Amino acid sequence: MNEIKIIKKEYLDTLNHHYFQFMFEGIPNDSVNEEKIDSMLDKWISDSMHHNMAKNVRTLRTRLKDYQEKRFSLYFKSEKEEETIGYKNGKLFYVQVIQKDGKNILNAEYVKGGTFSFSCTDLEKEKVFSEKSNIDMVEKMKKIQKYIASLNTISKVELNGRAKRMIQLYQLFYNENPDFSIHNTNEKIQNMFIILSAFDITDLGPYSFSMEDGRPISSRLSHLINDLCPYGEVEEVDNPVPLQNDVIEKTEIIGQYVTDFINKHENPMGCLTNIARIIFHNYWDLIDRNKRESLILTTKLNEDEINDIFSLGRRITKDIEKK
């Protein structure tokens, strides 16, 4: 059996006056690339906000999924709150939450076995209120108890078949790995799904799109993408979903044409979204230009921009038909 490894990281955000630390003890499996994981954690801890401790737990368990967890502790402190969480063998054994609300300090503590204490101190009057002092305190206590209970149910994020297929298509289309910690990854995947649909790539998933803030968006797809945020950058998936050869070939062709096209523009992401908008408003067609005048009105693009995108669609179709 491999030896227990201890991973400890800390970060001080001097701008926001936040401090975050975690320590993880676990046994790695034989395939763990410790250097790669260390680099990934360094990037995550310096690039992310850490005030959401439940999210920190899920993210770290996901990124350390190839370790058998033994001990795991997290600590966060800001000007208004302080929180400590401890796990042993995957089970919650200690939580302390301190919140400063104006002149009051709320202190809640949980120890494995069911011991829970709660108090609120009025700093001006130097008076301590118990959890039964008033209705407001009772509601705050119940909220924290519910939060503590939720901490015992947090697990790593698993990749299901639809998530794996989405990642594999993204890699084929953009010739890069998706990074779910980056905001525009959502937009890139949404646009990719719409573009692939225009060229008869089927079985993308049960996603319906509507216009939001001038962009075609699927809320269900957004939910899937946001759930994968703890993964950060995904280089490969275990047990990938089998893709048909024609799907692989068509996705690579479409992606190459699209990326070449948008990279010639000053705003590549805006251009990518414009392609998706035309497809959405033209009933999933990137070839038929019969509705050109209505597209000018609905997309607010000029005629040259629309013609360039339709020209792109014809070139893609012609190349696919050659194969």
Name the strand (E) or helix (H) holding 143.
helix 135-151
Lowest mean pLDDT among 37-41, 177-181, 204-208, 213-217: 204-208
Dihedral sign (CA 124, 129, 133, 135): positive
Residues 193 and 212 in one domain: yes
Task: Find the mean pLDDT for residues 155-178.
Answer: 96
Predicted pLDDT at 128: 58
Q: Structure pTM? A: 0.84
Please check whether residues 183 and 211 belong to one and the same domain. yes
End-to-end CA distance of the chain: 51
Which residue, 127, 151, 175, sits at the end of a domain?
151
Q: For residues 313 and 321, what is the distance between their CA atoms, to the nearest angstrom?
A: 12
Q: Which residue has the tokens 């998933």?
A: 205
Q: Which residue has the tokens 């407001």?
A: 136
**Range of the structural domain that residue 66 is part of:** 5-151
For residue 92, which phi and psi values (nearest 5 degrees)? -65, 130
Please indicate, yes or no, if residue 306 is contained in any of the structural domains.
yes
Beta 81-88 vs 127-130: how paired, if at all? unpaired
Distance CA 189, CA 169 (A): 9
A 10 A CB-CB count for 278 gives: 27
Give yes or no: residues 173 and 269 share one domain: yes
3-state helix, strand, coil split of the chain in percent (to 5) is 45, 25, 30
Cα–Cα distance for residue pair 228/63, rounded to 1 Å: 11
| Any domain includes 156 | no
SS3 sequence of 109-132 = EEECCCEEEEEEEECCCCEEEECC
Q: Phi, psi at residue 104, to the nearest 5°? A: -105, 145
Portion of the chain with pLDDT greater than 70, in percent: 92
Q: Which of 151, 173, 190 is the last residue of a domain?
A: 151
- Residue 197 domain-assigned (yes or no): yes
Name the pLDDT band for 296 (thresholds 50, 70, 90). confident
| The total number of residues written for the chain in this structure | 323
Per-residue pLDDT for 132 more than 60? no
- What value does the mean pLDDT of the chain take? 89
Let me know whether 82 and 187 are in one domain: no
Backbone torsions φ then ψ of 78, nearest 5 degrees: -135, -175
Query: Domain check: are 139 and 169 in the same one?
Result: no
Q: How many CB atoms lie within 10 A of CB 132?
A: 10
- Cβ-based neighbours of 135, under 8 Å, separated by 6 or more: none
Q: 124, 151, 178 — which closes off a domain? A: 151
Q: Are residues 169 and 281 in the same domain?
A: yes
Q: When comparing pLDDT for 1 and 137, which is higher?
A: 137
Dihedral angle, C-alpha 272, 232, 57, 159, nearest 10 °: 80
What is the longest distance spanned by two Cα atoms in the chain? 82
DSSP secondary structure code for residue 233 in this structure: B
* CA–CA gap between residue 49 and residue 54 (Å, rounded): 12
106 and 229 both lie in a single domain: no
Split into its structural domains, the chain has a count of 2
Q: Residue 176 falls within a domain, yes or no?
A: yes
Is residue 140 scored above 60 in pLDDT?
yes
- What pLDDT, on a 0 to 100 scale, did the predictor assign at position 201? 86
Asked whether residue 25 carries a pLDDT value surpassing 60, the answer given is: yes
Residues 141 and 175 in one domain: no
88/211 same-domain check: no
Whether 129 contacts 120, CB under 8 Å: yes
In this structure, the strands spanning 104-111 and 115-122 are antiparallel
Residue 126, pLDDT > 70, answer no
Confidence of residue 102 (pLDDT cuts 50, 70, 90): confident
Quick one: pLDDT at residue 18?
Answer: 93
Q: Is the same domain home to 128 and 211? A: no
Same domain, 25 and 112: yes
Q: Are residues 168 and 139 in the same domain?
A: no
Give a yes or no: residue 30 inside a domain: yes
pLDDT at 110 over 70: yes
Per-residue pLDDT tens digits for 260-288:
999 999 999 999 999 999 988 876 666 66
pLDDT at position 290 is 66
Query: How far apart are alpha carbons 81 and 232 in whole angstroms?
Result: 27
The residue type at 3: E
Residue-level pLDDT at 255: 97
